[in-house]
Amino acid sequence: MNETTLVSAFFGYVSIACWIFVLVPQIHLNYKRKSCEGVSLVFYALWSLGDVFNLTGALLENLLFTAILLPLYYIFTDIIVLSQFYIYRNRPFPSDGSILSESSALLERDSEKPKWSFKRLLGWLCVLVFMFICVVQFQLYPERMLKVSIREILAQLCGYLSAAVYLGAYIPQIAHNYRTQSTEGLSMVMFIVVTIANITYCLSILTAQAPTFDYLCKYASWLLGASGTIWLELIILYQFYIYRHSSSHRE
């Protein structure tokens, strides 16, 4: 095993170690509070869908072992978190009357806003981004695009779909934090670890071999999904900072 392979393996297994731990703080917090209040169900539902596309694409494209093992483990932890939403769905979150009144006011204001417009815009944006990437790849490397098999096309399609879903998944959680002006119910440790996991995941791919054009095209969608969400995770971590007094007051 050469030095490049060792470096890639190191980053890959650091990423796996982070992902093994990443949802444990959130799962523990949900269990401790007997509630998933403050956590966006849409966020985890889309995240789970992205993991399914991620695994399917990785298997079809015969990616690195770590790139296959990670989404397989993601799906397992997703099931645990989603089951907590079901288990705790009818349990009221312990709070005082002022918080209930504030929550009711927020719900009333939300109900007055037009629905689905943002989701439709986000959906069309994802479609346009996917089409743009396909056109760019075809223009830069038409010979390769004309020779790819159906299996490769499906693998890349799943890869870009997973990237689009991952990027879109964070929007509901960021929006929920902004509306409530609070990050209560979320685990800050989880978002710190997931950021480290995505950084090391990208590094494991980029250091596996010399970054040739073919190699980067093969892993482009997975790099897009991992590197793109890093910025969204940083936004949520910033929300932990600016809403820290609001969350501590509610606790």
In a domain, 80, yes or no: yes
In a domain, 126, yes or no: no
Question: What residues have CB less than 8 Å from 202, skipping those under 6 apart?
Answer: 223, 226, 227
From the list 95, 88, 81, the residue with the least C-alpha distance to 25 is: 81
- The Cα–Cα gap between 200 and 206 comes to 10
Query: How confident is the model over 30-44, as a mean pLDDT?
Result: 85
DSSP classification of residue 114: P
Count up the domains in the chain and report the number.
1
Task: State percent of the chain over pLDDT 90.
Answer: 9
- The Cα–Cα gap between 225 and 232 comes to 11
Owning domain of residue 164: 3-24+38-85+135-250
CB-based contact 74:19 (threshold 8 Å) = yes
Phi, psi dihedral angles at 34 (to 5 degrees): 55, 40
- The Cα–Cα gap between 157 and 57 comes to 7
CA 16, 20, 21, 25 torsion-angle sign: positive
In a domain, 110, yes or no: no
In a domain, 111, yes or no: no
pTM of the model: 0.69
- Tens digit of each residue's pLDDT (9 = 90 or more) over 82-140: 898 888 877 655 444 444 444 444 444 444 444 445 555 555 555 555 555 555 555 45
In a domain, 114, yes or no: no
